[in-house]
Amino acid sequence: MMKKIIVVDDDDSIRRTFFLILHQNYQVYLAKDLKEALKHFGHAKIDLIIADLKLPGMSGLEMISQFRENGFKGEAILISAYPDLINLAELKRLSVRHFFVKPLDLRALNQSIDNLLSTKKKKKIIRAKTAFPIRLRK
């Protein structure tokens, strides 16, 4: 059975890109916000959430937190064009072990997705290499 991934991003081109790179190996659901994501959670057992940090209505971290509070135990990846807003303590608390800075390194992202869905052994937060240094708030 194919693993199920939901991509939550308000940018249609990002959602379509994820679908194109993932649909051959995974069942991919797309959502532009929490409301659409909830519809998918209602009828599918999701294995991985990929969420943008900035979403309409609530942040990607707030959305992941809400899903965790409702029993979601799957994996999560956060993506953001705003690395200065990422809080490592919050990522750790929500078991978001991977995050990527836009523009996305699709090869590294695909490798992370494959690793997350093939094994649960990796426990540390992994940050993709970027062209500029990332300052993280603690």
Domain extents for the chain? 4-127
Beta-strand (E) ranges in the chain? 4-8, 27-31, 48-52, 75-80, 98-101, 126-127
Looking at residue 76, what is its pLDDT? 97
Looking at residue 132, what is its pLDDT? 38
Looking at residue 119, what is its pLDDT? 52
> How far is residue 37's CA from residue 73's CA, in Å, rounded to a whole number?
16
Average pLDDT by consecutive 10-residue portion of the chain (138 residues)? 95 96 96 93 91 95 94 95 89 93 93 84 47 40
Cross-strand pairs, 5: 28, 48
**Is the CATH code 3.40.50.2300 the one for domain 4-127?**
yes
Structure tokens at 68: 């965790």
| Burial class (CB within 10 angstroms; exposed 0-12, middle 13-18, buried 19+) of 56 | exposed
> How far is residue 17's CA from residue 119's CA, in Å, rounded to a whole number?
24
